[in-house]
Amino acid sequence: MSLSLPKPPRQKMINLLYIVLTAMLALNVSAEILNAFKTVNKSIKQSNESIDQKNALIYEQFAKQMQQDPAKVGPLKAQAEQVKQQCEAVNVYIDSLKNLIITQSGGKDDSGQIKKMDDLDAAPRVMENQKNGPKLKARLEELRASLLNFYPPNQRTAESKSFPLTVEAPSNAGKKSWTVSTFDMVPTIAAVTILSKFQNDVKNAEAQIVDYLYGQINAQQFTLDTYKPLVSANSGYIMQGQQYQAQIMLGAYSATVNPTITVDGQSVQVQNGVGTFTTTGSGIGEHTYNVAVSLKDKTGAIKTFTTTGSYMVGAPSLSVSATKMNVLFIGLDNPVSIAESGVPSENLSASISQGSLAKVGNGEYVARVTTVGGADVNVSGTVGGKAMNFGAMKFRVMRVPDPVAEVGGSKGGRMQSAAFRVQEGVQAVLDNFYFDLKFPVTHFTIAFEGTGFDNYVQESSNSAYFTTTIKQLMQRCRPGTRVFIDDIRAKAPDGTTRNLPSIFFNLY
Report how far residue 55's alpha carbon sits from residue 85's, in angstroms, rounded to the nearest whole number: 13
Give me the helices (H) in 184-276, please. 188-219
Q: What residue ranges define each of the domains in the chain, with the CATH number in brackets?
A: 9-219 (no CATH), 229-314 (2.60.40.10), 318-398 (2.60.40.10), 404-507 (no CATH)
> How far apart, in Å, are the Cα atoms of 430 and each of 64, 305, 406, 409, 427?
48, 50, 10, 12, 10
Report how far residue 42's alpha carbon sits from residue 30's, in angstroms, rounded to the nearest whole number: 19
Angle at Cα 438 formed by Cα 433 and Cα 443, nearest 5°? 120
pTM: 0.42
Three-state DSSP state, 504: strand
> How far apart, in Å, are the Cα atoms of 456 and each of 418, 447, 483?
21, 7, 10
Report how far residue 201's alpha carbon sits from residue 354's, in angstroms, rounded to the nearest whole number: 63
Report how far residue 123's alpha carbon sits from residue 193's, in angstroms, rounded to the nearest whole number: 12
What tens-digit pLDDT sequence spans the chain (508 residues)? 444 444 555 555 555 555 555 555 444 456 677 777 778 778 888 888 888 898 899 899 889 888 888 888 899 999 999 999 999 999 999 999 999 999 999 999 988 888 888 888 898 999 999 999 999 999 999 999 999 999 999 889 999 888 988 888 766 667 788 988 888 888 998 888 889 889 999 999 999 999 999 888 865 443 444 456 766 665 554 444 446 677 776 666 556 667 889 999 988 888 877 888 888 877 766 788 899 988 775 445 687 889 888 776 655 555 555 555 689 999 899 999 888 776 778 888 999 999 999 999 888 999 999 999 999 999 998 876 788 888 888 999 998 999 999 999 999 999 999 999 999 999 999 988 888 899 999 999 999 999 999 999 999 999 999 999 999 999 999 999 999 999 999 999 888 899 999 999 999 9
> How far apart, in Å, are the Cα atoms of 458 and each of 169, 367, 499?
51, 44, 19
